[in-house]
Amino acid sequence: MTIHNETAHDWPQLLLGWFRTHRRDLPWRTSPRDPYKVWVSEIMLQQTKVEAVRPYYENWLDHFPTVASLASATQEEVLRQWQGLGYYSRARNLHQAVCEVQARYGGKVPDREKDMLSLKGVGAYTAGAVLSIAYGRPVPAVDGNVLRIFSRLYLIEDNILSAKVKKEVTRLAQDVIPDDAPGDFNEALMDLGASICIPRHPRCQECPLVSCCLAHEKGRETELPVRIVKKDKPAVDITVLVVSDRQSWLIHRRPAKGLLASMWEFPNAVGKGNAGLDAAREVLKKAGIRAGSASGPVGTLRHVFSHKVWQMTIYTAPYANGTLLDKEDWQWLPQAGYTQVPWAGPHGKITAIV
DNA sequence: AACTCGGGGAT
DNA sequence: ATCCCAGAGTT
């Protein structure tokens, strides 16, 4: 992926100029900067809005003002102070990492990237943030804000959630991060992303980088970034009622159109529990068949389609009485010949269960 | 690369 | 309801 933005002469300086007058006043932005406080704030801010963090951060510093105080706390106490903030492994990892800093580095937060990254709960983003903000090291800190801003600035049309784009943005940031103000640069990107270059309706008129932004130049700022999220497929509960007459199974052919068209399946209905069983019995009744009492569940199957998931619960029941009304789409299949019909997806597997 | 982990606010 | 958020660890 090769990206050029000829209009982006020296946008970092424009950004820093804007930051001087627009920087947010946040409790962890002390002067001088305290590496421990920066670290705590970065962990708390993962996937969490500033306003949600603020009270927790204040409370945290009251209880654990230093590396040493946090290192000497119990995990129970640590979790109690984190209670309600979510993502509790963040608290456990931070506690463990701070204990290691206390033991291995004498309580001083490491100022080398390799050492930071070795700490539990510290990834590329957090390491970059702490090193740049607290220690003035020119290390990028690529988070959701930075991905969004860069995708617009450089007109990156690929999925920003992919590893490929994150890698490319990291490289771009590495190229432009000012050596003399890396912390301000990274924090300025956060503030810009929080107030101007926001996800839905970016305020381009107020943006210091409007003259450098390729997306704005093309009028496509609202189309970016591209975020392709795996959305969970709807799950459908299916109750299957396998009816057998000693040597044969009763099976049904699905409609000629739609999902698994014209393939054969065991009698079934949407629903689970007694409601599912009742619905399945209703299907049998319409076919002219009555079954005895059901046993089971004898098994479950989970089948994933491209767009939905079937969660199947399988019951068995003996044939009681009745005659098939529809000989086209229903049949008694000899159990020995189960390979002779085209099964509707997962239904073929049921022959191995019952 | 996909999944999991919380909770709250905006749309 | 769905999206989104100063991500990282596990598989």
Distance A17 CA to C6 C1' (A): 21
Q: Does the C-beta of A87 come within 7 A of strand B?
A: yes
CA distance A274 to A64: 54
Distance of A200 CA from C3 C1′ (whole Å): 10
How confident is the model at residue A42, as a pLDDT? 96
- State the DSSP H helix or E strand holding residue A193, giving kind and residue range, or none if neither: helix A182-195
Which 231-250 positions of A have CB less than 7 A from strand C? Answer: 231
Delimiting residues of CATH 3.90.79.10 domain(s) in chain A: 235-350
Judge if the beta carbon of A95 is closer than 7 A to nucleic acid strand C.
no
Mean pLDDT per block of 10 residues along chain A (354 residues) reads 55 96 94 96 94 94 97 94 93 96 97 96 96 97 95 94 93 96 96 93 94 94 86 77 93 87 91 88 94 87 74 90 90 87 85 82
Nearest to A290 by CA among A245, A351, A353, A354: A245
Strands (E) in chain A, as ranges, are: 235-245, 248-253, 264-265, 268-270, 289-291, 295-304, 309-322, 330-334
Domain(s) of CATH 1.10.340.30: residues in chain A: 11-217
Structural domain A11-217, CATH architecture: Orthogonal Bundle (1.10)
Phi, psi of A268 (to 5 degrees): -155, 170
The reported pTM is 0.75
Say whether the CB atom of A308 is under 7 angstroms from strand B: no
A307 touches strand B (CB under 7 A): no
Name the architecture of domain A235-350.
Answer: Alpha-Beta Complex (3.90)
Angle between helices A50-63 and A35-44 (to 10 degrees): 130
Q: Look up residue A226 and give its DSSP letter.
A: B
Q: What is the pLDDT of residue A2?
A: 45
Q: What is the pLDDT of residue A349?
A: 84
SS3 of residue A251 by DSSP = strand
Distance (Å) from CA A177 to C1' B2?
32
A42 is catalytic: yes
Give me the catalytic one of A42, A168, A221, A265: A42
